[in-house]
Amino acid sequence: MAASVAIAQSPGYILQQNQQQLQPAPGSKPALSAATPAAQPLATARPAGKAIHLGLLLPLASPALKEAAQVVKDGFDAAAAANPDSAVQLSVASLTDESKVLDGYQQLAAQGASFIVGPLTRQGAANLAQASKLPTLLLNSLDKAPPAGSKIWSLSLAVEAEAPQVLRLLQDDGRQQPLLLFNGEALSQRLRQAFADAWTARGSKPLNELDVSSPDADKLGAALASSDAVILALDSKEAAATRALLPPALPVYASSLINTQQPPAVLQGVRFVDMPWFLMPEHPETRGIARPSGNLTRATERLYALGVDAYRLAVALAGSKNPAQIKLGGATGDLRIGKGWQVQRELPSSVLGSNQ
């Protein structure tokens, strides 16, 4: 699939999308032992007196998460390698279990880390957000705000964050009465709620919705009669099965869930948003960063892109006196800090099956 860009997900979701074992890039460096400093300083060059010591906290020794964690680290290392003339030191805490997050944090602090990156799971992120006394970039979303006054930021690939951007795309196209299609799967339900909340937040009446877990032609036809577009809150497989039931000319919109390496032909023409790593491979800020050398699934490569931006954003945050002003063209999106703790990702849009 080639994509055409029209405008310039959490690890848990990504792991759900992989039906086979995650494949780290062949030839990737072995994980360092807990809190072992990297052999050479890595990162973007900093002014004199502004040395940065990053502490990377990942479950690299976890039986369940080590392969996902290694892909994140590979992306992190690739971003560091793209900036060889640098003065950033790196230590890595390799966790066997994310319940050991606080132990890993203490190890990194003892090694002199001044800025923490990680961990990978939502619960691990929540635990560290409450305990960290150091500036920290979490690699998952938080369900509640970190303690007041703490320097905690969250960079997440949660697909729910894409809903407002898909709705902007739809409304920019002049669509006013979309029909939201979903099913009973947990991921679909979360995405459904995100679309519903984002729609009402725009001052609109409640979104027209239909459960397609067991498709009913009469109900679908009736719902479509008053709709000028469809939103698919579904993964690629379910989206393809549902798209086949819809009129071919009906405008259809979706999240990045549909953008797999080989999307079903029936999804051609569907508009969606996704990260620049896939839609803008020649992005001037990331084109010099090495792509993974192994065969990764599209979902797994998102973790690599997360690692790329984790490094770049951590260096920017650690060296900034005013983090709220940071703007970074990233692999996972155009990144903005703003006033809150959540890193905002603005995504480009594309159409499945179009030429780049």
pLDDT (0 to 100) of residue 50: 67
Name the least confident of 15-24, 70-79, 126-135. 15-24
Average pLDDT over residues 172-179: 96
Find the radius of gyration of the CA atoms of the chain. 21
What sign does the CA torsion over 95, 101, 104, 109 have? positive
* 3-state secondary structure at position 37: strand
CATH of domain 11-157+279-346: 3.40.50.2300
* 3-state secondary structure at position 353: coil
For the chain, report the end-to-end CA distance as a whole number of angstroms.
9
The answer to whether 113 and 91 are in contact (CB under 8 A) is yes
Q: What distance in Å separates the CA atoms of residue 130 and residue 148, rounded to the nearest whole number?
A: 10
pTM score, whole prediction: 0.86
What sign does the CA torsion over 162, 164, 165, 171 have? positive
Q: What distance in Å separates the CA atoms of residue 139 and residue 134, rounded to the nearest whole number?
A: 15
Average pLDDT over residues 30-49: 33
pLDDT (0 to 100) of residue 63: 95
In percent, the amount of the chain with pLDDT more than 70 equals: 85
pLDDT (0 to 100) of residue 295: 86
Q: What distance in Å separates the CA atoms of residue 206 and residue 166, rounded to the nearest whole number?
A: 16
Q: What are the tokens at 263?
A: 């999307």
Describe the crossing of helices 66-81 and 298-318 by its angle, rounded to 10 degrees.
Answer: 50
Q: What distance in Å separates the CA atoms of residue 189 and residue 207, rounded to the nearest whole number?
A: 14
Which residue is listed with tokens 């009402």?
A: 200
User: What's the chain's length in residues?
Assistant: 356
Would you give the distance in Å from CA 60 to the centre of its chain? Answer: 19
Q: Do domains 11-157+279-346 and 160-274 have the same CATH topology?
A: yes
Question: Which position has the higher pLDDT, 3 or 355?
Answer: 355
Q: What are the tokens at 85?
A: 């003339």
Q: What distance in Å separates the CA atoms of residue 210 and residue 207, rounded to the nearest whole number?
A: 10
Q: Is the pLDDT of residue 78 over 80?
A: yes
Average pLDDT over residues 7-27: 42
Residue partners of 144: CB distance under 8 A and separation at least 6: 126
pLDDT (0 to 100) of residue 294: 84
List pLDDT tens digits, range 257-312. 999 999 999 999 999 999 999 999 999 999 999 999 888 999 999 999 999 999 99
Average pLDDT over residues 323-335: 94
pLDDT (0 to 100) of residue 151: 96
Q: Which residue ranges make up each domain of the chain?
A: 11-157+279-346, 160-274
- Choose among 90, 77, 63, 85: nearest CA to 30: 77
List pLDDT tens digits, range 219-267. 999 999 999 999 999 999 999 999 999 999 999 999 999 999 999 999 9
What ranges in 202-271 are assigned the alpha helix state H? 217-225, 236-243
Residue partners of 328: CB distance under 8 A and separation at least 6: 285, 309, 312, 313, 316, 334, 335
Q: What distance in Å separates the CA atoms of residue 33 and residue 274, rounded to the nearest whole number?
A: 34
CATH of domain 160-274: 3.40.50.2300
In percent, the amount of the chain with pLDDT more than 90 equals: 78
What integer best gives the mean pLDDT of the chain? 87
List pLDDT tens digits, range 83-136. 876 689 999 999 998 889 999 999 999 999 999 999 999 999 999 999 999 999
- Choose among 346, 330, 231: nearest CA to 285: 330
β-bridge partners, 253: 231, 271
Average pLDDT over residues 162-186: 97
DSSP, res 268: T
